[in-house]
Structure 1
Amino acid sequence: MQTHTRGHLVYAAGGVLAVHTEHGTSIVPADRVSWTPAGFTHHHRAHGDTDMRIVFLPPSLARLMPDRPAVFLASGLAREVLLALTGPRDHDDAAPGHSRSARSRLLRVLVDELHEAHEQPLHLPEPQDDRLRGIARLLYENPGDNSSLAELGKTVGAGTRTLSRLFRDELGMTFYEWRTQLRVYHALVLLAEGHDTTRTAYACGWANPSGFIAAFTGIIGTTPGRYRNGRRTAPRASRPPAAAKPQG
């Protein structure tokens, strides 16, 4: 665990990153950028063959970013600026070939690009209520668990109505939306580790691969097969769709 006096961007040029803070977990697949504000205790975890780039922002630019962790889709220009700022498989303190003024201009371009980008639904909030924490712990350990909310509620001593209200009030989403996002995050890890679409679908709790493909595409913006093969998706002009309800 660590914390910084400057907010920073983490870019996954390849592979999958997880950025953990006290507020939850941001999953950063290839060509996404994670933002962590100054002062947030956090740690990173890489899955698969990951190429991680880190860029710290001065306060004058950090104030233009959200005051909470967030994930953005990197435009082609943002991607090239990030690579230019960091150099090959490095972070920005060692980036060669840029004067201070040139670097400032590049950072401004980068923040402008992210400011125009849509946030990605890739931040999974961390429950604070003990009952929700109990459910989260069970599903983190076994994302393929298809128990209903009522069944899970019996293990934590709470009814369906109470738990549904807690998910809405505390996490801003339904239980099924939260579980779908958790499963898609786990799927990203499995795909990064080389598992195929069918095996990943069943491991994450879907009754069939087609349901998994629909949910994955709704959140990530491309199919699992294309993602696994490293095909990049173009930035979309429309808002990303809400998480799909898992099948099974």
Structure 2
Amino acid sequence: MLFADDPGFPGLPDDFIQRGPAGIEAAAAALEHGKPIADIQQFACLPPFRRAGKILCVGLNFAAHAKEAGMATPDYPTVFARFNSGLVGHGQPLIRPRSSDQFDYESELAFIIGRRARYVSEESALDHVAGYSILNDGSIRDVQLRTPQWTIGKNFDGTGGFGPDFITADELPPGCEGLRMQGRHNGDVVQDTSLSDMIFGVKKLVAILSAAMTLEPGDVVATGTPSGVGLSFKPPRFLKPGDIFEVEIEKIGVLRNPVVAEA
């Protein structure tokens, strides 16, 4: 751990990722001289990336989730945008808005672009991924489902969790294939899947997205949630003040957030 005023502080991830692999390597070397953190879970953290130019989210990327939502399995990814203002870090409270009691959770793998990508093939796609983190794509369901465009229901202030860890791609299986992801609501496992079950894996998503837009270093892509969202329970299992939601991804870490009511 290094503080901003410590000698050799490498900058925030938003900064050093712009310098490409060399910037990440330099940051890692600098951080080796810092004081180790025994357990990051005891801290409240800011999101690892706070100035992402694009936060792209993929909907219906697990067949079982598409089925529970009553929607067809897509043959092309459903993509919508989130904004930085809607995300909080590990340990920080998720905010259930005053206007709705349908606050839902979505456990997701996020990947972060490290090299500019435009018209990238699947074969070279992973060369453009710097690393991985965890995202809870918190959703206000009644607002989300009022229109065919999901953006507003996905961007209420402080409704999504992001972090705390950023694990570089070389530390993980290619595309995180085979890793296990769990979502836990007040300790109960409500989502449990292999990341190999994604319809569109990381390689495909980089190739498809980069055919539409230039992906820049620091851009974040959330890869979709499996079955078991709160809306699928009978009665629905929405988040309420006092709840705790955790997303754990094997080899990456745990994102844990309490839930509070909007003041």
Larger Rg: 1
Do they fold alike, i.e. is TM over 0.5? no
TM-score, normalised relative to structure 1: 0.23
Higher fraction of strand: 2
Higher fraction of helix: 1
